[in-house]
Structure 1
Amino acid sequence: MYIENNDILTFLGYKNQKLDDSILNMINSCKEEAINLINERFIYGVYDIEEDKDIRLLNTNIVLSGESITRHLKDCNKVILFACTLGIDIERKIKLYEKIDLTKSIILDACASILVESLCDDIEKIIKKGLNKEYRYTLRFSPGYGDLDISSQKKVIGLLDANRKIGLTCSSNFILMPRKSVTAIIGISNNDIKSEYDICDSCHARENCMYRNNNNKCANYNK
């Protein structure tokens, strides 16, 4: 995985400001450190679904409720559920830097956020490579997007046995731990999939998205 400086700067909210060498050097240092600290792991499963008012994963007790996820998975007959994490080491280092070098902590945190999204992209490619080449896929959709309640994190983690297999759990408030982790849902269809809405509308980061604030689009939008 690789981190572009422009992605870090966008994530941090820079808008064409001139950067001094000390900041650029710190960015480069944090990029290298982040890549050395991560211990990426993932787990996934593919499940048949049926759509009623909600989305039911067959042969499980999982129901995904909400207009957003139902619309997102319209005409799909299967879903991929996956969970991934960068591990605990990078989170510990971010917290350490919070106490001794706040700027470095912020930059390292940005690097980790970019890396976990890059990991998700890589995971998608790995999963799809092993499935039917005729399948068509939706974009990733995570608990907390739209009106899919964030408590669905716990359902995904439990079904995938992610705590035991990759060390991923969630808090009582359904925040993933380690923090630089993702759970996601991808719909599978035998037919072409046409998005009925702007993916930004269902993104939990919409209001504070640095890409949108800079009139740019993130990688998910451009897929």
Structure 2
Amino acid sequence: MIADLREAARYLGYGSNPPDDRTMEEMIEITDELEASARGKWTYGSYDLEISEECITLSGTGIELRGRNIRRILANAKTAYIMACTIGPQAERIIQLKKLHSATSGMIADACASALVEGYADLCQKEIEGNLKPNQTLTFRFAPGYGDLPLSTNKMILEELKAEKRIGIHLTETMLMTPRKSIVAILGILDGDTNKGNDHYCGNESCDDCSLKDNCTSRRQGSAENE
């Protein structure tokens, strides 16, 4: 199974607690259906970083990464990967069909689809790791919209990766990605024993520093939640 059901349960609001047996059975059934129908696709590229006081620029592109959070993530990196990943439109069709059955089934399907696209993003990241030199590692996967990195950064990244042509991700005028279950992310490359920093996707030292701490979707079990 590509999707992590613990992640799906977290999206449903269970936190570190396991879902009841009935909910878990439905999660497994829906995830199996999603994995049989949805098709994970991804694309990525690596770029040297140009760092100024105003922003971080990906060399040879118009991509500007602005905000203190991404600056913290990439503080010790000279090169970075950008990536885009999707599970395609079929997942959304399944979610809508489940909603017609019941609101609860719809919510479960949505959570399982989110966990599935994260699973494919993990596979993409593993492929990227296969391109690294033996002494290199990656920073945490960081997405526009986390912390203070503007969501509009997605537009520049998707255009650079030609994501619409390659894997079918389209960005609406309101900066929403379609298919909805898609991910854009940035990963810095670290040399040697360079510390990748605190396990916070936003780059903050503590969740207490963040105005989004009460509804943050980037916190994961075993990292920021265990403060």
TM-score by length of 2: 0.84
Show the counterpart of 2:9.
9
Q: Which amino acid aligns with 1:137?
A: L
Show the counterpart of 1:176.
177
Q: Provide closer, same or farther for how the CA distance between residues 76 and 3 of structure 1 changes in structure 2, counting only shifts above 3 A.
A: closer
Q: Which amino acid aligns with 1:65?
A: R
Q: Provide closer, same or farther for how the CA distance between residues 20 and 131 of structure 1 changes in structure 2, counting only shifts above 3 A.
A: closer
Instruction: State percent identity of aligned pairs.
Output: 33
1:9 Cα deviation after fit: 2.9
Show the counterpart of 2:49.
49
CA contact (8 A) 2:43 2:84 kept: yes
Residue 215 of structure 2: which of 208, 213, 219 is its match? 208
Q: CA RMSD in A?
A: 2.8
CA contact (8 A) 2:44 2:82 kept: yes
Show the counterpart of 1:217.
222
CA contact (8 A) 2:3 2:117 kept: no
Deviations 1:17-59 (A, max 9, x none): 88354x3432232121111121110000000111112111111
Q: Provide closer, same or farther for how the CA distance between residues 62 and 136 of structure 1 changes in structure 2, counting only shifts above 3 A.
A: same
Show the counterpart of 2:114.
113
Deviations 1:95-143 (A, max 9, x none): 2322332221111111111111111111111111123222232111110
1:221 Cα deviation after fit: 8.4
CA contact (8 A) 2:143 2:184 kept: yes
1:2 Cα deviation after fit: 3.3
1:196 Cα deviation after fit: 4.5
Alignment of 1:1-223 (within 5 A): 1-14=1-14, 16=17, 19=20, 21=22, 23-53=23-53, 54-197=55-198, 199=200, 201-202=202-203, 206-209=213-216, 216-217=221-222
Stretch deviating more after TM superposition (144-153 or 23-32): 23-32
Any gaps of 5 or more consecutive residues in structure 1?
none
Q: Which amino acid aligns with 1:82?
A: M
Q: Which amino acid aligns with 1:92?
A: R
1:92 Cα deviation after fit: 1.6
CA contact (8 A) 1:75 1:189 kept: yes
User: What is the count of residue pairs matched by the alignment?
Assistant: 218
Q: Which amino acid aligns with 1:26?
A: E
1:73 Cα deviation after fit: 0.6
Any gaps of 5 or more consecutive residues in structure 2?
205-209
Stretch deviating more after TM superposition (101-110 or 147-156): 101-110
Stretch deviating more after TM superposition (155-164 or 60-69): 60-69
Q: Provide closer, same or farther for how the CA distance between residues 126 and 18 of structure 1 changes in structure 2, counting only shifts above 3 A.
A: closer
Q: Provide closer, same or farther for how the CA distance between residues 102 and 56 of structure 1 changes in structure 2, counting only shifts above 3 A.
A: same
